[in-house]
Structure 1
């Protein structure tokens, strides 16, 4: 086992570094090495493959039922955007194995154009980690992580699901590893006619709602020497979304996207030093068809070339110095959008100092300077402290300054782009209080975020929309979470319940921000006995305004949706299961005028070879 992983294990267990001690277990290599450090100072919700399979339809459904993120979805499988702590989708960063993958054009990610299956872990983090993950990581981050195991031999698995509305999900994985080499390959294909109907909501039929997604992942790692390892991971995604229309007489439209992500990593580890060098290439291609029978009417191609170095030096068991340098070249070209061969150089230098006084107290201080071509950027600061006050009480404090620079659409879209925009800036603070009594963990986290120069698209005097730095936003609230796990003989009970209160106000109008519910609840309860598993999950959303004037007549009404599932494992390697979604036939929307399905069903088979 390499020394870095030994240190991470000890780091996580005791809150300090103890040199020269290793644990004789198989190494698991994680491409995003910063996540292990983030977890020491921030609450991170981790979803495993078995959690992801509960909501395998798409990533929107997965985040809606298993995290505190609010998801705004234009119908099942269509355009979808997230919101953390009252912030916008552009202020949410999606991070693929340590690399920010938000679109250079939109400044955000379409949640339904990211596969829900195929990752080894999905991690959700509320609040800023901008010193580590860069521009846009203000409201929160969603991490799509893969890992490689060594000394596991040959393994393979197949997941196949059939569901309502002509929906099929298939995932196949294969891996091989020995003491020095590890390899993994996975492929995911999801397709749906998606022709559901909700008669109670204006006789809605999800016309032209079909979609199809194909995703391929490849990863490999090789230990050159005891102190040096090289690894490579690549992902290829191809998606087609048909956008719903309200009447058969309307012209049908669709959207196609092709994404490529590739990351090469060189790890150098000694007892005191760890250096991770990354070279990455990401590419986004998209085409919009304003008539599905005609050629594309608009589109674009974005290419990002990324070099990143992450240097860790362990001064002694109490002090750790982390320096992160990054340089990117972002290129973009649009079709019928006015964006012609634009390019932007982006660099950053960050330093983090971590101190571990005892096993009960630790803190981290960070500073970062970004260099964005054409912009003056602020110096970013962060501070995190974690204190085990008592055996039953843990206190965690976080304060940060972050920013987001404008996207290509904000700057160059024609007509409307505004090259005079300033970057957004945000200041935030949160305080996590964790109580542990009789195996029950209760976390209460009040938070406060103040944002200035928020970029908003508004009607102009010329009759079209244009972005301006207009809004100052204050967001505050409370996130709470309860976790419980109890194992007794062949019985296992696990519960994860969360509630969030979010007050996000545009200070120019003193009104709640659009599509920010005041109240959200989510919960998952799992029970296992021997070969049998049962789960129930639910989400509640409070009143959600869809306009900037808080008109209750236009608001999305509160709703509660519950799902359940059951599965059985036979002969150790064969699992058969079924799910019922929206048990109570709730009529609900997350985006005005686009209701989501009523009660629907699925059955699946999982085989491990």
Structure 2
């Protein structure tokens, strides 16, 4: 019965391509001379959701840094780092790392083995457009998008000037870096290339709070080196077709930082090698669009423990993504239907056999707009099958209502799901961990209600948003340590997260001075309901209160920014917690205009107050440290 039901839905997809559209919607981007079509699912169908974009000033200051640096200082994400340069994960709205999807060129790059994405391994330079979509988005992006989505995109190459950029940087703890970027093209085709390299001894001093005497020690076995290449091409194959292709290669070599309570240094190392590719073809005309997408993600993680060789292991994963989506414009409305097929494989020394699965999903979105353009509503549904087993259908309903000129009401409710990872299901039993083949898929719903105000005055622009949210998850999968000290994933009965998000952006121009203020605050009450000691506990590593702020000042060719990052206490198990912390960074950039080029000098003082803190238990973070950079841009 389930199979017949799914095939009936598949027939709808085939049939829908024969429908004839009418007038072009005002929401659809079109060719404007050399401007390319921008057919982003985020802009058209994430209605009712809060979407934040990282600040361009902060991105300039952190051009030699990682995506972890950018998101921890400039977004509502809760970033958890295993020491500088170490594994960096994140959470949103009280969910776990696996509950926030990460999309690159429309492809989910989360590992099928552990749902992980290491933000520290990703250079901020590679992403010209980073957006965070808050709330459940399972209908738009499938399994795992229960708390939100991080979108990593490049710029529209046809809108970028042709130029060559080269930069070098140097920071504390012997941390040199270098990168180069090139963009060249015309109105028919454009090409971009970027490459980077960075290394660090990472031997910073820290106060060891695990010792009774709080001795000052120097960090050992924490160095890293990384390098990567990103290429991007946009080709206008005809007046109504577009082909884009991107290839991303990355290498990350990291010593596993010694935890504070250990009496002798660790000697473990981990090497990550990643290849990702994406090809997108877009056709549009007569009120219709067709998008065809192909993606590949290959990842290898080689972990070596020289003290306990049996802990060493090699992990390899492969994801192949194929998607076709059609869109039909009917007056002011848009109807979209698509089919996604994903093939996933995982091979590990921790598995008994090579694991694989086939995922097939059917989805549809309906974008409706009122005649007066005040009300916009999107209804979306998705049905997915994994290895022949049909998951329950999920849905979402979101609306934006422009109450009057500066004020918009926003609301969204959705049903979402997350299937277990290969590690969750198949990890072979050892002395420290084992998988659980009896795990159930997580399921639940989320809802949010918010208000947004956008107002422009003569010399001031103000944007304010406030959102109340709630997320309910059944069969929440959590890795916990049992009475035998072995870690194992378990379906906890219920996970509930609710809270408030506040965000303000303000810019003011006074003469030659431009002032900016960005402020965000999160209140998150996240609880597990279960039958063990974790019952009623705040979710691990989720602070109830957290704040980010940035004040910037620009005068002529000088830009200065001060950022503040604060988090309340966070439990790292059922009874123990990390202390609250507040850190501040001071950054400045000076542009030297030349005849046909620009030279930019940047300088950053990180953790200016010498705060002693941890984002992950027993992994030290450095006190005050410095970073300088030099960038040269020339138009070609």
Verify same fold: TM over 0.5. yes
Deviation at 1:24, TM superposition (A): 4.6
1:424-573 matches, cutoff 5 A: 424-436=442-454, 439-459=461-481, 464-508=486-530, 509-549=535-575, 554-571=576-593, 573=598
Q: Which has the higher contact order (CA 8 A, sep 6+)?
A: 2
Deviates more, 1:246-255 or 1:592-601: 246-255
**Which residue of structure 1 lines up, in the alignment, with residue 11 of structure 2?**
none
Structure 1 residues 479-524: Cα deviation after superposition (integer angstroms, max 9, x where no partner): 0001112234432222210000000011221121111100000011
**Which residue of structure 1 lines up, in the alignment, with residue 40 of structure 2?**
33
**Which residue of structure 1 lines up, in the alignment, with residue 320 of structure 2?**
305
Please, which of 410, 419, 423 is the counterpart of residue 437 of structure 2? 419
RMSD: 2.3
Deviation at 1:324, TM superposition (A): 2.2
Please, which of 165, 188, 210 is the counterpart of residue 173 of structure 2? 165
Please, which of 255, 270, 273 is the counterpart of residue 255 of structure 1? 270
Measured in 2, the distance between the counterparts of 1:19 and 1:79 equals: 40
1:590 paired to 2:623 = no
Structure 1 residues 111-137: Cα deviation after superposition (integer angstroms, max 9, x where no partner): 223333211211112211111111111
1:128-139 matches, cutoff 5 A: 128-139=136-147
1:156-555 matches, cutoff 5 A: 156-199=164-207, 201=209, 202=214, 203-245=216-258, 246=260, 249-291=264-306, 297-316=312-331, 318-335=332-349, 337-357=350-370, 358-373=372-387, 375-415=389-429, 416-436=434-454, 439-459=461-481, 464-508=486-530, 509-549=535-575, 554-555=576-577
Measured in 1, the distance between the counterparts of 2:631 and 2:308 equals: 38
**Which residue of structure 2 lines up, in the alignment, with residue 605 of structure 1?**
630
Deviation at 1:217, TM superposition (A): 0.4
**Which residue of structure 2 lines up, in the alignment, with residue 70 of structure 1?**
78
Q: Which runs of 5+ in 1 are unaligned?
A: 1-15
SS at structure 2 position matched to 1:511: coil
**Partners of 2:47 and 2:398 within 8 A in 1:** no
Deviation at 1:53, TM superposition (A): 3.8
Measured in 2, the distance between the counterparts of 1:306 and 1:101 equals: 10
Measured in 2, the distance between the counterparts of 1:467 and 1:377 equals: 21
Deviates more, 1:433-442 or 1:169-178: 433-442
**Which residue of structure 2 lines up, in the alignment, with residue 51 of structure 1?**
58
SS at structure 1 position matched to 2:578: coil
Measured in 1, the distance between the counterparts of 2:182 and 2:632 equals: 12
Deviation at 1:293, TM superposition (A): 11
Deviation at 1:470, TM superposition (A): 2.0
Deviation at 1:38, TM superposition (A): 4.4
Structure 1 residues 17-67: Cα deviation after superposition (integer angstroms, max 9, x where no partner): 24999685641565x722322465432222266532434432222211111
Measured in 2, the distance between the counterparts of 1:223 and 1:292 equals: 55
TM-score (norm 1): 0.92
SS at structure 2 position matched to 1:249: coil
Structure 1 residues 347-384: Cα deviation after superposition (integer angstroms, max 9, x where no partner): 11111101110222111000110111164411111000
Structure 1 residues 55-105: Cα deviation after superposition (integer angstroms, max 9, x where no partner): 443222221111111111111111222111111111111111111011111
SS at structure 2 position matched to 1:231: strand
**Partners of 1:449 and 1:475 within 8 A in 2:** yes
Structure 1 residues 411-439: Cα deviation after superposition (integer angstroms, max 9, x where no partner): 11001222221100121100121134553
SS at structure 2 position matched to 1:60: helix
Structure 1 residues 431-464: Cα deviation after superposition (integer angstroms, max 9, x where no partner): 1211345532221100000011011224457763
Measured in 1, the distance between the counterparts of 2:53 and 2:620 equals: 29
Measured in 2, the distance between the counterparts of 1:520 and 1:250 equals: 33
Structure 1 residues 310-362: Cα deviation after superposition (integer angstroms, max 9, x where no partner): 2111011x211011210011111112x12422110001111110111022211
Measured in 2, the distance between the counterparts of 1:407 and 1:20 equals: 36
Deviation at 1:540, TM superposition (A): 0.9
The 1:463/1:539 distance shift into structure 2, 3 A limit, reads closer
The 1:168/1:216 distance shift into structure 2, 3 A limit, reads same
Q: Which runs of 5+ in 2 are unaligned?
A: 1-23
Measured in 2, the distance between the counterparts of 1:65 and 1:26 equals: 35
The 1:598/1:38 distance shift into structure 2, 3 A limit, reads farther
The 1:98/1:378 distance shift into structure 2, 3 A limit, reads same
**Which residue of structure 2 lines up, in the alignment, with residue 12 of structure 1?**
none
Measured in 2, the distance between the counterparts of 1:109 and 1:117 equals: 17
SS at structure 1 position matched to 2:627: strand
Please, which of 88, 92, 109 is the counterpart of residue 80 of structure 1? 88
**Which residue of structure 2 lines up, in the alignment, with residue 147 of structure 1?**
155
**Partners of 2:44 and 2:367 within 8 A in 1:** no
**Partners of 1:151 and 1:177 within 8 A in 2:** no
Deviates more, 1:192-201 or 1:358-367: 192-201
Measured in 1, the distance between the counterparts of 2:600 and 2:133 equals: 31
SS at structure 2 position matched to 1:147: coil
Measured in 2, the distance between the counterparts of 1:42 and 1:159 equals: 37
Measured in 2, the distance between the counterparts of 1:420 and 1:501 equals: 34
Measured in 1, the distance between the counterparts of 2:283 and 2:410 equals: 32
Measured in 1, the distance between the counterparts of 2:558 and 2:323 equals: 46
Deviates more, 1:160-169 or 1:446-455: 160-169
